[in-house]
Amino acid sequence: MRIGLYPGTFDPVTLGHLDIIQRASALVDRLVIGVAVNRDKGPLFSLEERVAMIEAECAVLSEQTGTEIIAHPFENLLIDCARDVGAQMIIRGLRAVADFEYEFQMVGMNRALDASIETVFLMADARRQAIASKLVKEIARLGGDVSKFVTPAVNDALIARLRD
């Protein structure tokens, strides 16, 4: 069984993330969405809420693609998470050259830790390259419309959270 791990904070999950998830699901039999705790980023949504969003958004994708897609929260090293879920590959999305520089360093470190786990890069769809969770949250905080960047359910969750 080919198992891939697509890690991120997903705070919140965007249409860019979902594009990568859909395309990655064609490469593997099981796609594990690693939802990182990452306290340094100060998430808007709790870990449990982010996992629930991923599960809700990926349920339909899983049915459509026939690939098992599961959410897996983690707080350890990415390479350890990959080992924990039995992943042979780590899947990363790239939006721009700046992403590549950081990801290139991460690949080098991960290969030094475990050379048996490959990293696969998927370029963001041209229509989704500008989408970043950080920017989506900022636009929403300032009252802007983010419905072009997230699903209706995530949009509703953002509005409700920022209203509180």
Residue from 47, 53, 109, 41 nearest 78 by CA:
109
Given the residues 17, 30, 50, 92, select the one marked as catalytic: 17
Q: Rounded to an integer, what is the distance from CA 126 to the centroid of its chain?
A: 17
Given the residues 25, 92, 133, 137, select the one marked as catalytic: 133
Give CA–CA dist 84/147, Å, rounded. 35
Give the tens place of pLDDT for each residue, 84-113: 999 999 999 988 777 788 888 999 999 999
CB neighbour class for 38 (10 Å; exposed up to 12, middle 13-18, buried from 19): middle
Given the residues 83, 95, 111, 161, select the one marked as catalytic: 95
Residue from 9, 56, 7, 14 nearest 34 by CA:
7
Give the tens place of pLDDT for each residue, 40-90: 768 999 999 999 999 999 999 999 999 999 999 999 999 999 999 999 999
Give ∠ CA 10-16-22 in degrees, rounded to 5: 95
Q: What is the full DSSP assignment across 37-56?
A: --GGG--SS-HHHHHHHHHH
Active site residue 17: yes
Q: What is the mean pLDDT of the chain?
A: 93
Given the residues 2, 41, 141, 148, select the one marked as catalytic: 41
Give CA–CA dist 53/133, Å, rounded. 14
